[in-house]
Chain A
Amino acid sequence: MKTKCVLLIMMSLILFAGCNKEKGSAGKIRIAEQYGLAYAPLQILIEKGFLEETAGEVEVEWVRLGNTAAIREAVLAGDLDIGFMGIPPFLIARDKGMEWKIATGLSRCPLGLVVPAGQYSSLSDIPGDAKIALPQPGSIQHILLSMALERETGNPAALDKNLIAMKHPDGMNALLSGAVSGHFTSPPYLFMEEEEGYDVLVSGDEAMGGPFTFIAGVATERFYNNEPDLYKAFLSALDKAILFIRENRSETVSILAEKYHMDEKTVEDYLYNRGMVYDRDVRGLDRFIHFMSETGYLKQAIEKGSVSF
């Protein structure tokens, strides 16, 4: 019995080792995105077929994943070439030794800590038993809140005991029902909450002390080295999509309204009047690295130049 057991385990391990995936095949690009207005250029890029235009014959595989941890795991498993995410979770993975770098910025947008109108005038007003919802520890929302707290109270972890990890839609429900007293979130949830009469107590830009890239595109070093043409083609397709959003308002709005199941008027307002910026610059990387090293999120010394292509 004993030997049989051991044999069985050995065999299954060997089998398991055998299915180590083939890492990316030629002429194929696998891209992961998440959900939200900040990813709009990717929707346009898919819908208009820009990548097929710039890269010719290419097999494109799009995956939508719920959070950055899932993207990182898929990359580790050899299932992805490019992923889109906030800078802090990218840096955490880079710090742990993941072989990937920032390829491009995608969007800047208004983030902020939303609270009931008139309730608090500053972060120090938030009482010790209040609860604040945000996506997860180490997320860009969490880092921004820590930055604002450090500036105002000197202690970046001052509210950590009050934080509850919730996905954006759940966080919004919790805020509207009064279950939490604050929600650090991003569009469209930020806009919807403002429309419900809630206030932004601290904006992302205030927390950061300047503009910053919200979502960046991250590529594996393997993909960058093995598929240089495809890599370039993807970036120029992204350029086209960003240009398209600027120049073809009505078509952009109708594509996105369908994708997001929202009416066109709202999409147009959210996209063009509320401070969403789509461009490929990467901003604020230095500040993120500096702050996250100081607060212990990053253990190794990371140079700005070494984390982007």
Chain B
Amino acid sequence: MKKGLILMIAILLLWQILFLSGVFSPLIFPSPLEVAKSLLGDLKTGELPLSILFSLAIITGSFIPALILAFLLAWLAFRFRGFDPWAEKLSALVHPLPGIALLPLLILWTGLGIHIIVLIVIHSVLWPFYINIRSGFQQVPKVWLDVAENNRLTEGERFFSVLIPASFPQIFAGLKIGWSRAWRAVISAEMIFGTIGSGGGLGWFIYNKRIFMDTPGMYGGVLILMFIGLAVENLLFQSVERRIAHVYSQS
């Protein structure tokens, strides 16, 4: 944490020095002070908080269905061995498709609306998450499954008490990858698919700043992106990771 802080201060100092040197036009490279000012302004008008909320709401709204779908797919593949190669092939085919490439097709099929962004985020989370869960399930020791069977555990008990805990490290890795994919997908989808009057998330916020040549605002938007990414990584994932490491080192 301390190192990160020092690094940040150093970057800010360099930034200010570079700005004062006047090598770049302020339209390309505004001063940190100006960026901070425009950030504060956008916070006050409510434009920025609304955009952040919009993006986070989209992510939450698409993350949960994507998780459920991925678990379902992985469980079906695990439970019914014949289904596994099919699911595997499907993910190999679809996973490399960038969500943005699907945007025009999705509009043609389902019409316009915020659901387009949700679908793109689901697509970008579902496959990496499924791949991780699948490999997690495959690595569950056979003995554990046999024990579960001998003790006549129900399907649900087997799933929640054996499969999930045994493959938690992979599932957790999938969550982390899924989050970063979702974050990227939501920002890029918002940048392309914008509603002009009624808010459209952080991606649209940045794009709008670009259109109106508000360079400090653009820098501000990118800084907020970094900040949120960092906050989720630090607050959410690292604390969970510490706890898991603790549990798994005991076993």
Given A17-B18, A77-B28, A136-B211, A179 contacting B11 (CB threshold 8 A): no
Q: Which residues of A contact B54 (CB under 8 A)?
A: none
A139-159 contact mask (Cβ, 8 Å, vs B): 1 or 0: 000100000000000000101
In chain A between 1 and 56, which residues have their CB closer than 8 angstroms to a CB of chain B? Answer: 1-2, 5-6, 9-10, 13, 17, 20
Tell whether B10 is near chain A: CB-to-CB under 8 Å: yes
Instruction: Find out whether the CB atom of A2 lies under 8 angstroms from the CB atom of B197.
Output: no
| B14–A9 CB distance below 8 A | yes
Whether B196 sits at the interface, judged by CB under 8 Å, is: yes
Whole-angstrom distance between the Cβ of B96 and the nearest chain A Cβ: 24
| A77–B27 CA distance with the chains assembled, in angstroms | 10
Is there contact, CB below 8 Å, between B27 and A76? yes
- Residue interface bits B201-216, CB-to-A below 8 A is 1, else 0: 0000000101111110
Interchain CB contact (< 8 A) of B23 among A17, A72, A76, A77: A17
B112 partner, pick from A5, A89, A180, beta carbons under 8 A: A180
**B211 touching A69, Cβ below 8 Å:** yes
Interface residues on B, range: 20 to 34
* Given A17-B23, A20-B24, A177-B108, A6 and B7 contact (CB-CB distance below 8 Å): yes
Chain B positions within 8 Å of A93 at CB level: 213
B196 touches A137 (CB 8 A): yes
Whether the Cβ atoms of A72 and B213 lie closer than 8 Å is: yes
Nearest A residue to B195 via CB reads: A164
Given A137-B212, A164-B112: A6 in contact with B196 (beta carbons within 8 A):
no
Q: Could you tell me the distance between the alpha carbons of A162 and B18 in the complex, rounded to whole angstroms?
A: 42
CB of B3 within 8 Å of the partner chain: yes
CB-CB contacts below 8 Å: B179-201 with A: 193-198
Question: In the complex the two chains form, is B25's CB within 8 Å of A137's CB?
Answer: no
A:112-143 near B, CB below 8 Å: 131, 134, 136-138, 142
A235 to chain B, nearest CB (A): 26
Q: Answer yes or no: A261 CB below 8 A from chain B CBs.
A: no
Interface pair A92/B213, CB less than 8 Å apart:
yes
Q: Which residues of B contact A131 (CB under 8 A)?
A: 112
Docked CA distance A142–B212 (Å): 13
Known: A20-B23, A69-B210, A180-B112. A163 touches B195 (CB 8 A): yes
CA distance A160 to B193 in the complex (A): 15
B101 CB–A CB distance under 8 Å:
no
**CA of A136 to CA of B196, assembled, Å:** 8
Q: Is A287 an interface residue (CB 8 A)?
A: no
Question: Which chain A residues have a beta carbon within 8 Å of chain B's beta carbons?
Answer: 1-2, 5-6, 9-10, 13, 17, 20, 69, 72, 76-77, 89, 92-93, 96-98, 131, 134, 136-138, 142, 157, 159-165, 170, 173-174, 177-180, 297
Question: Which B residues are closer than 8 A to A by beta carbons?
Answer: 3, 6-7, 10-11, 14, 18, 21, 23-28, 104, 107-108, 111-112, 193-198, 208, 210-215
- 30 CB < 8 A contacts A-B: A2-B3, A10-B14, A13-B18, A17-B23, A69-B210, A69-B213, A76-B25, A77-B28, A92-B213, A97-B26, A134-B196, A136-B194, A137-B208, A160-B196, A160-B197, A161-B197, A161-B198, A163-B196, A164-B193, A164-B194, A164-B196, A165-B195, A170-B107, A174-B107, A177-B108, A177-B111, A178-B111, A179-B107, A179-B112, A180-B112
